[in-house]
Structure formats: structure tokens, C-alpha cells
Amino acid sequence: MGRSFLFMLVIFVLAIFAISGLMSRALSAAGESQQGGSLEIGRDVYHVRCAPCHGHEGKGDGPYAMTLNPRPRDFTLGMYEYRSTESGSLPTDEDLKRAITKGLPGTAMPAWGKFLQGDTLEAVVAHLKTFSSRFGSEQPLPVPVGREVPSSPASIEAGRVVYEKLQCASCHGTDGRGTGATATDFQNASGLPIQMRDLTEPWTFRGGSSARDVYLRFRTGLDGTPMPSYVGAVSDREMWQLAVYIVSLGRKPAWEMNEQELIAFYRSQERLVSNDPAKWGKYLVEGMGCADCHTPLDGKGGNIESLRMAGGTRFTAGPYGEFVTPNLTSDTATGLGGWSDEEIRNALTKGVRRDGTRMLPFPMPWTALARLKTEEQNAIIAYLRTVPPIHNEIPRPKPLSFFPYLWGKFKMLVLKEDFPAEIFPGNAGTLKGGQQ
């Protein structure tokens, strides 16, 4: 526990350094950018402020990219989500400026409005457009938006009917929160997993939460995601009614609720969870990063997605030996398929392996999991049962023999060397490569 805490502390301190470094460089670039030619300014500001995430060549592969979800946009694809233009078109300069100055809420993309204005902002937009040759040959135009329909009980009800007619529920659920959705796993144009938006949480809408913003999102589609454009499917008036309906679904964020509202909100959450424990379990498992460890690494810092939860990441932890993360898929022979609920619970909360032996309190964070409520443990177990089976036989942990163990301890305790730990890319299980 002490060591895993120390490890977390180190990560935390590194993250603070990374963020403060980014901010101070961003601030100093604001001063520098007042002089010089405009394309050069755009390039310089981009390299300082945007490249850490979006990469120097705009490929979405900057040094911070690997740690972000969703990942930064790859500008070389020339594909943008938050546009006022027809599906498949480029965004207008105004669209780009909006994303840059207001940021994309719910993602790592910051709001640059305070630092980037006027000519500097124009220059950054001009530089961004150099990453895709499409900008040289196409002239994007905003779509006509028709007349806005005011919000009223009648227009909201009419919008609800449009929501049904257009089958938004197949992805967003009957309640806008995903309940009853038939499609649940989504990928973006780069093949990375993306999360569906909860339509009751307007503060997470990347493109803004006004009726006009929402109208534009489904009117023009989110290019590079599974959400299509709905132009022509219904009349313009119906689209406005739908937008008004979506806005009406928005709830208050928890931080703005009073006591009564909070109690009522958490009751409704609990009801939702008891209706669908596996879904809640998925939410917990994603939030707790189980897949980050229990999926092999691809060597570029990401996980091999075709082996999701199939185990195979190899760790060495100083004098404690070598561990390969076990297979958590529902495969009966090599995963958790043959385990009883109690066996899984014991592993999660007591660190007891199936053969009754004990794990160390790291790398598997069972001491933290032990603090979960029973219903939360049940939800995680219910979700693990639904993870598609992958046959990947994982070797047992290898404790070091006695003398290397003593030598390791001596180095740490007497020579005060850092705790040596390493993580290796590739799958250390029997299934080779990422094929499946």
C-alpha cells in the first residue's frame, strides 16, 4: 500500500509539472506572438500550445496524447466534429475559432479564449489549416438554419416524437442517458473508442448546449463518429422541436443542486443502477482503469484494443518479482468464465487468488477495491461476466528466488535506491500479437 501510494504520488507530481509547464509556456507564447509574420506566428504558437497534444505535424500524437481520452484530433484527416457546415465538409474559420476559444467541454481541449485573440487567433487557424490539403481547394459554407422554435410544453412534446421517429434512442437511450440503447460501443475515425454523450448532462456538450448548438449537431452530424447527419429526414421545424426537446432533458449538475435535489438525484441514480448492474459495472471498471492494466500495451503507449481485458501486460516490481496481468474476459479456460461470484469478489477485495494464495497489495489495487460497497462489487462482477471471451493463457506470477530478493531489498532499504519497477509492451500470454 505504502509503495503504491508513493507511485501514485510520483505520477501526481509529474502531472502537476506537466500541466504547469504547459500553462507557463502557453502564457509566454502570448507575449512573443505580438511580432513577426502571421504564418510564422501561427506556427510558433501552435508548436508551443497545441503540439503537446495535437503533435507537431498535427497528427494528434503529441507527447500528452496517449494519456488523454478522448484523444486529441488528428488534423491531417481534415475531419471535424463541431461544424456549422454540411456533413463531410470542412468547418468554417468561425467553427474552428469557436472550438479553440471556448474549448471542448468534457475533454482535455482547453478554452484558449483568454490567450488567443484577434490576429494571433487568425494565425493559429491559418496554421491549423495547413495540415490538410482540403482547405486549399474547398470553401465550406454554413448550412441554412431556418427559424428557431421557442420552447413550450407543446414544442417539447413534438420534439419527443421526433426523437422517437429518428431513433436517437438506439444510441442515446429512451431517456437520453443510454437506457435501452441497442448500440453501445463506438469508435472515432482513428479507430479509438469514444463514449456516447449523456443528453441529460448539457455541460458535457462539446459544441455548446443552446438549442441552436444542439440543432447544428444532429443537423450536420458529428463527422468521424457514428452519429450521422439528419438533414432531410424530417422538416426543419421538426429539427428545431427536437433541439428544444433535447435542451429540456438537461438536468442541473450535482454541484448546483441543493440538499433535497441531491437526495432525489442520488435516489434516481440508484434506481437506474439496480435496473442495469452490468452497465454500472462497466462505468466503474472504465473509471478505475482496470483495462489499462489488464489489456496488453502496443509499444506506443496505448492498449492493444483487440485484446481488451485479455490480460498479458508484464510488470516487474523490484524484489517482488514479475507479474503478468490476468485475463479478465469471460473465457472459461483462461479467463474468469469458470470462476464463481465469490471467487471474483475475494480476488477483488481480499487479494486472494483462485488457488487461495494471496497477491501483494500492488500492482493489483485490491486494497482500494475493498472499500467499494457490496452493490458496486456486484456491478463490477456482473459487468466482467459480459466481457467477450478471449482465449489467452497467462503465466503465473514469478516470485524472485531468495538471494535476488534479498539483494533487491538491500538496494532499496540500505542503498536507498529507487524502487525499481518496469512495464513491458506486448502480450505475455499465449495469444501472439493483436489478432483475434
Span 347-386, contacts to ligand HEC by CB under 6 A = 347-348, 353-354, 359, 363-365, 369, 380
Q: Which is nearer to ligand HEC, 186 or 419 (CB)?
A: 186
| Contact flags string 19-58 toward ligand HEC, x per CB under 6 A | ------------------------------xx-xxx----
Q: Which is nearer to ligand HEC, 259 or 342 (CB)?
A: 342
Q: Which is nearer to ligand HEC, 64 or 135 (CB)?
A: 64
8 A C-beta contact, residue 156 and residue 244: yes
- Sign, CA dihedral 161-163-166-172, equals negative
Cis peptide before 70 (omega within 30 of 0): yes
**Least spacing, CB of residue 112 vs ligand HEC, in Å:** 5
Backbone angles phi, psi at 187, to 5 degrees: -130, 155
Q: Which is nearer to ligand HEC, 156 or 380 (CB)?
A: 380
304: its cell numbers: 492493444
Q: Which is nearer to ligand HEC, 98 or 260 (CB)?
A: 98
Cis peptide before 363 (omega within 30 of 0): yes
Q: Which of 120, 325, 377, 378 binds ligand HEC (CB under 6 A)?
A: 325
- Sign, CA dihedral 173-179-184-190, equals positive
CA nearest neighbour of 149 among 244, 282, 11, 273: 244
Count of residues binding ligand HEC (CB under 6 A)? 73
Residue 338 CB coordination number (10 Å): 12
Q: Which of 126, 128, 244, 387 binds ligand HEC (CB under 6 A)?
A: 128
- Which residues, numbered 175-234, are part of the site for ligand HEC (CB under 6 A)? 183, 186, 194, 196-197, 199, 205-207, 214, 217-218, 222, 225-227, 230
How far apart (Å, rounded) are the C-alpha atoms in residues 287 and 279?
12
8 A C-beta contact, residue 181 and residue 196: yes
- Which residues, numbered 67-126, are part of the site for ligand HEC (CB under 6 A)? 68, 70-73, 80-82, 91, 96, 99-100, 104, 107-110, 112, 124
CA nearest neighbour of 362 among 408, 325, 307: 325
**Least spacing, CB of residue 290 vs ligand HEC, in Å:** 3
Q: Does 304 bind ligand HEC (CB under 6 A)?
A: no
**Least spacing, CB of residue 414 vs ligand HEC, in Å:** 26
109: its cell numbers: 481541449
- Which residues, numbered 259-288, are part of the site for ligand HEC (CB under 6 A)? 285, 288
* 372 CB-near residues (< 8 Å, 6+ apart): 284, 348, 349, 380
**Least spacing, CB of residue 13 vs ligand HEC, in Å:** 18
Distances (CA, A) of 282 to 37, 196, 430: 51, 13, 26
